[in-house]
Amino acid sequence: YMATPINALRAAAERLRAAAGKLAGIVSLRLNMAANKRMLGWDGADAADHEADIQAICGDITAAMPGVRRLVLILKGHNSAVQELGRRLAVHYSGHLQGLEIAGPVAIPRGTEFRQLKRMNLEYGYIGTSRAPRVSPAGLKLLGLQGRLATTTWVSFASGARDREITFANLEVLGLASSPPAAMPSFAAQSCSRDAWRLYFPRLRHAIIQCSQGPFPVLEWVVFPPRMVSLEIDVAPAVLQVVDEAVDIPAAQRFKLAVPRKFGDDPAVLAMTRRVLEKAHRCEARELVAPGDASPLLIDMVVSVPITHLSLHAASVDLVADLIRRTSSITTLSIFYLNADNTQLDISVPPPGSRCAVEPLSTSITGLRFGWHYSNRKSSFALAAKYLLLAIPSLLCLVAPYGLKQQLVEFAKAHSACHPHLQNIVIRGLKQQLAEFAKAHSACHPHLQNIVIRDWRW
């Protein structure tokens, strides 16, 4: 792993030469040069000005580590000298790479072939050309194309100009994200029309489609398999229209659709959202991500469409209470930046050990996840969260938020009579030993089966 400014790569290359023969077994190389350009020894220089340095450093790296199978290049915001080093490394290892990730403007030349790739992720300004390098689609298991792109073609999966159907026979994970979406790839070096192309993913299990603006022609060519594990769409109205009109939503175990905040009160967007959710009726779990300052139109849609999972961002406790009181289909509720500001509800908390006097809001919700909160509004968040804990007696799983994890979990223990069937607690970090924590909560929650400890913020 090398995360150094360019002007330190000479020293790193010397150490590589000194370690010749000791690094031959390394199979994964990550080159991170995403530092501020003012820190770099080659700031503002062209590749031609440092040809000798580039050639020497590339030669030292490849000689010391000839067996690299996974290459990660993080070259965001750099000049042509840095890009040229990344390009040469990608070309040198191309014959036997199984994993390739590029974040930054690296133009891989025509004639380069990646025939053994199983995982590929290109993002943030990767530059494709009209003579793009070729990748064999049959071997790929993971494909990610995301970020702001310089051209419409990143990489070619087609073997000839007449190829109009491409089958990704073993692809299991697909991620497409772009801003603006007009830069999404055509998947081949040739120009093509929407009626002529079809992209098949017979073994696809997980797909994430994200786009902030339209249009999004790739979706018009994609043929999803009849069954998937998860399909997530977080898109602009133009993309949503393609899904509404052209995409056959598979019978996924989980279907997730996000409505951007700026479209939360747009009648046309909400009408399309409703139709897309209705098209996903074969999906076992249907999740909607919605802005917390929802319009009456959005609220009416949420309560009238059979959604099983609902995620709200920047929501008031009054809105949450109104929504879950009016629907019986929601089983999992995720709330980010919850607040109790100017609430009209009586959210006073009874003393520990007393009978739960809060009127239940829902008997169908079994999972409750609290996400991020504003640090300067922690008390408002905590008050609203405690009220919801008391008002959902059917709770089976509690995901406590970062910053209030201990407070809410201890509150749940003190008021365990209000949610007697709790089986799972998910928490980030502990201030006490796990055995002590488990013993204390098992005594209060007789049905507790799992305690999951996370080590990151989520």
Contact 100, 120 (CB under 8 A): yes
Tally of domains within the chain:
1
In angstroms, the CA 402 to CA 428 distance is: 6
For the ranges 60-69, 87-96, 145-154, the lowest mean pLDDT is seen at: 145-154
Highest mean predicted confidence (pLDDT) among 157-161, 185-189, 408-412 = 408-412
Position 57 pLDDT exceeds 50? yes
The domain containing residue 358 runs over which residues? Answer: 308-458
The verdict on residue 363 lying in a domain is: yes
Residues 6+ apart with CB under 8 A from 277: 257, 286, 288, 305, 307
Specify the pLDDT at position 434. Answer: 73
The verdict on residue 393 lying in a domain is: yes
Higher pLDDT, 203 or 189: 203
Q: Among candidates 85, 65, 67, which has minimal Cα distance to 4?
A: 85
In angstroms, the CA 167 to CA 175 distance is: 16
The verdict on residue 450 lying in a domain is: yes
Highest mean predicted confidence (pLDDT) among 20-24, 110-114, 392-396 = 392-396
Q: Which two tokens stand for residue 83?
A: 């890009």
Digit-coded pLDDT (tens) for 343-366: 877 777 667 666 676 788 888 999
For the ranges 40-49, 215-224, 285-294, the lowest mean pLDDT is seen at: 40-49
The verdict on residue 380 lying in a domain is: yes
In angstroms, the CA 231 to CA 247 distance is: 12
In this prediction, residue 212 has a pLDDT band, given cuts at 50, 70 and 90, of: low
In angstroms, the CA 139 to CA 203 distance is: 12
In angstroms, the CA 248 to CA 376 distance is: 45
Specify the pLDDT at position 78. Answer: 55
Digit-coded pLDDT (tens) for 383-438: 888 888 888 989 999 888 766 666 777 788 888 888 888 899 888 766 666 777 78
The verdict on residue 376 lying in a domain is: yes
Position 89 pLDDT exceeds 70? yes
Q: What is the β-pairing status of strands 222-223 and 206-211?
A: unpaired
The verdict on residue 439 lying in a domain is: yes
Specify the pLDDT at position 375. Answer: 58
Give helix 317-326 / helix 296-304 axis angle, nearest 10°: 40
Report how far apart, in Å, the C-alpha atoms of 144 and of each of 161, 206, 255, 270 are.
Answer: 24, 11, 19, 29
374: domain CATH number? 3.80.10
Burial class of residue 162 in the structure, from the number of CB atoms within 10 Å of its CB (0-12 exposed, 13-18 middle, 19+ buried): exposed
The verdict on residue 254 lying in a domain is: no
Contact 164, 197 (CB under 8 A): yes
In angstroms, the CA 123 to CA 302 distance is: 34
Contact 179, 216 (CB under 8 A): no
Specify the pLDDT at position 4. Answer: 43
For the ranges 86-95, 166-175, 372-381, the lowest mean pLDDT is seen at: 372-381
Mean of pLDDT over the chain: 77
What phi, psi does 142 have (nearest 5°)?
Answer: -135, 130
The verdict on residue 387 lying in a domain is: yes
